[in-house]
Structure 1
């Protein structure tokens, strides 16, 4: 692909990621793509996950919303330079070389399948609302695995089935959020919010820790940049779609979380497996509303899994076409889906679900979310570093001072924000995330060695 620079810096020419592909996403479609991927299944469980920190987590949510908009602006600027599909692995690769691109792709791919496992675990709490599982960990694991493999089967059937499932689930996912975020605000009780800081640590530490968990709900802000090759006029559209989609999602998120905090008593919310169902029960005064919301939430999360499984297959597919992932990931089945990538993420997600339910299901979702935060922030960090690198190069060329200062501020704050979230994820999540990241190095070494051997023989 060709990396076009707004600072006129010289960059290497690369082959197009998808020759002859028609750009089909306008501003509305690209914005919907961003919102659809941001508003996934994690939000249905996160209010209960961050409730132990107290209402200080609402402050973290507001700060995170601002930071997510900064990331959206960053990806918009980067898309001006490299308006191609691949986004978060293209930018580090073009700036720092293949190894940085591989690490970013590997980390993002890890984030995808770990996120898939976390979403499958989130389904369990809502299934328990209408089919009591009685705390049976074996049954809970079976439900989580079913939630993983059913959308995987839709992916194997081809992109037409993926698209059909996605349309239905996208409509359904907005129903419980909008109901709670609008109607629920009229039923909020101040005494339900609980203490400001219930974590026992400093307010700063509580904000950082809860923000690391909440970042999971904003994963997807990069969707338009990842699909820039499919977007019309990506130099302008990607940035606008990223910002509009992030702002819309943040508004729904913040209002919905405030409503849940005010509808469900704090001591009950910290133990809830289906906080939005409990919130609707508080509005209706019965259980039918919560059951209906739970059914919708299960359908929504399953649909979100459908989309993330496809994304988890497409990212290594794009990297494999550039020689940065094993060749089997580049194989596409009759339905237009990279089948090997689907198998890989489904099997890895299965192993992670089994491991976490064996190790301790009470903390499964929290552990998976924090690992996802780390692996998701690595590509963000590298992308921000790539922008800083290009801006440093641009200081030698003709650059408008106002534009340079603006881009420097956005890139520097995005880098600092990503670094802060990695620190806030905690030692255990960083430790496990680093293991996932470094496990890819032998893969890169093997691919690089084989490629150089072929070049020498040629």
Structure 2
């Protein structure tokens, strides 16, 4: 559904390399600062190979998104792909579940930010200090996104530089202190322990998640059909290399890695002193803030796309006359995320976001099988090697991951799906 001709249109202001920065910013978040310890606890000496294998598996999904994005220059991402492939109901449900994912992710990351800040400002751990960190961070990111997508993109690029510098220092210095025996020591996991393997898979997916947000703001990119696939492919290669290098240094320099609450800071303290540990702690704070910046940028675009198609108040479908952004949708998400952040914990909200996120992956992988045939002759459409092979493999992986989730999380996702079906039955007239 297109906007009326006399209505302000979205501003196409974001360049190719800004999209690359946004995509890296969206993926590298709190996960990399927790991943090394948790992965070693679950996979032992196979942790490094698990990180690399996860990158390869996620690359299947990234390629699905790249191909779908090459067909459209409209906003909506997974919602748009499912709607065009399977109809309005499927599209609505995918968009609805993604928006819930974005809200719960923003709320979870706000709590994680307060926890990170508490390491050097203890008052952020509870009470008024914690409230201030959550309110100010969400308020700041909401305001930046309302003012304009260009300012949000620039903020995202600045934050991605801030989060990458500590990781680069960690790897560049730590590589000289790796103990090969320590790096691949530990108890081997039992491959027949399916629950343990499933938990490890979901953990690794969480660390790589977020790439699906980038196509949501396609209406504000200069050349989305060309630039989004380039950004997504550049991102997954870069992030996999970074994650593998960080995992190797952490495993090879910190004994007892599995029991560390702050693995990168602890490892850095061992070979670089407390100054490097502090840099890693600050890096974790910037990393979380940067990821939440993208969450607050991309999430409202799903709500905006749903409202444009008649679901939700007309106000949410409007573009700000001056800033040319979906300001009402951005403000709505900011308010709801703040309410959730003040009432839920990081772990609860993160688990919910992971389960609901799989709906978007499943919907997009399935949609690509339809869209690839429909747009086969359209110039500029990306063609994946092997035809339907990559989307089919990605779909099977997502279904297996969903089956490995806890019944509690599956039940919560099913309830959200039912609520979405009820909302769909009563569109705006």
Shorter-chain-normalised TM-score: which range?
0.7 to 0.9
Cα gap change, 1:312 to 1:126, in 2 (>3 Å): same
Cα gap change, 1:133 to 1:109, in 2 (>3 Å): same
- CA displacement at 1:42 relative to structure 2: 3.3
> Could you tell me which residue of structure 2 aligns to residue 62 of structure 1?
52
> Could you tell me which residue of structure 1 aligns to residue 266 of structure 2?
278
> Could you tell me which residue of structure 2 aligns to residue 373 of structure 1?
354
8 Å CA contact retained: 1:60, 1:207: no
**1:217-270 per-position Cα deviation (integer Å, ceiling 9, x unaligned):** 222323553344455665554333321221111111121123223333336x43
- 3-state SS in 2 of match to 1:45: helix
* Aligned with residue 423 of structure 1, among 403, 406, 410: 403
2: CA distance between counterparts of 1:193 and 1:157?
Answer: 49
2: CA distance between counterparts of 1:54 and 1:133?
Answer: 36
> Could you tell me which residue of structure 1 aligns to residue 93 of structure 2?
103
2: CA distance between counterparts of 1:160 and 1:214?
Answer: 31
- Determine if the alignment matches structure 1 residue 43 to structure 2 residue 24: no
1: CA distance between counterparts of 2:229 and 2:152?
Answer: 26
* Aligned with residue 344 of structure 2, among 323, 331, 356: 356
Task: Please provide the CA RMSD for this pair.
Answer: 3.4
2: CA distance between counterparts of 1:159 and 1:28?
Answer: 14
Cα gap change, 1:372 to 1:443, in 2 (>3 Å): same
> Could you tell me which residue of structure 1 aligns to residue 228 of structure 2?
238
> Could you tell me which residue of structure 1 aligns to residue 380 of structure 2?
none
Q: Which runs of 5+ in 1 are unaligned?
A: 1-13, 358-363, 398-402, 452-458
- CA displacement at 1:68 relative to structure 2: 1.7
Which structure exhibits the higher relative contact order, with contacts defined as CA atoms closer than 8 Å and separated by 6 or more residues? Answer: 2
**1:356-403 per-position Cα deviation (integer Å, ceiling 9, x unaligned):** 34xxxxxx43x33332222111011011112234568899x9xxxxx7
Cα gap change, 1:342 to 1:26, in 2 (>3 Å): closer
2: CA distance between counterparts of 1:278 and 1:234?
Answer: 41
Moved more, 326-335 or 188-197: 188-197
Moved more, 84-93 or 222-231: 222-231
Cα gap change, 1:123 to 1:167, in 2 (>3 Å): same
How many equivalent pairs are there?
A: 420
* Aligned with residue 316 of structure 2, among 318, 322, 329: 329
8 Å CA contact retained: 1:59, 1:207: no
- CA displacement at 1:290 relative to structure 2: 1.6
- CA displacement at 1:307 relative to structure 2: 2.4
**1:264-290 per-position Cα deviation (integer Å, ceiling 9, x unaligned):** 3336x4341x332223212223x2222
* Aligned with residue 195 of structure 1, among 186, 199, 223: 186
2: CA distance between counterparts of 1:130 and 1:306?
Answer: 22
> Could you tell me which residue of structure 2 aligns to residue 53 of structure 1?
42
Map residues 291-370 of structure 1 onto 2, 5 A cutoff.
291-333=278-320, 334-357=322-345, 364-365=346-347, 367-370=348-351
Q: Which runs of 5+ in 2 are unaligned?
A: 378-382
Cα gap change, 1:261 to 1:147, in 2 (>3 Å): farther
Moved more, 143-152 or 382-391: 143-152
- Determine if the alignment matches structure 1 residue 439 to structure 2 residue 419: yes
1: CA distance between counterparts of 2:150 and 2:18?
Answer: 17
> Could you tell me which residue of structure 2 aligns to residue 210 of structure 1?
200
8 Å CA contact retained: 1:72, 1:221: yes
- 3-state SS in 2 of match to 1:122: helix
8 Å CA contact retained: 1:112, 1:308: yes
Cα gap change, 1:42 to 1:119, in 2 (>3 Å): farther
Provide the TM-score with structure 1 as the length reference: 0.79
2: CA distance between counterparts of 1:51 and 1:122?
Answer: 21
Cα gap change, 1:27 to 1:321, in 2 (>3 Å): same
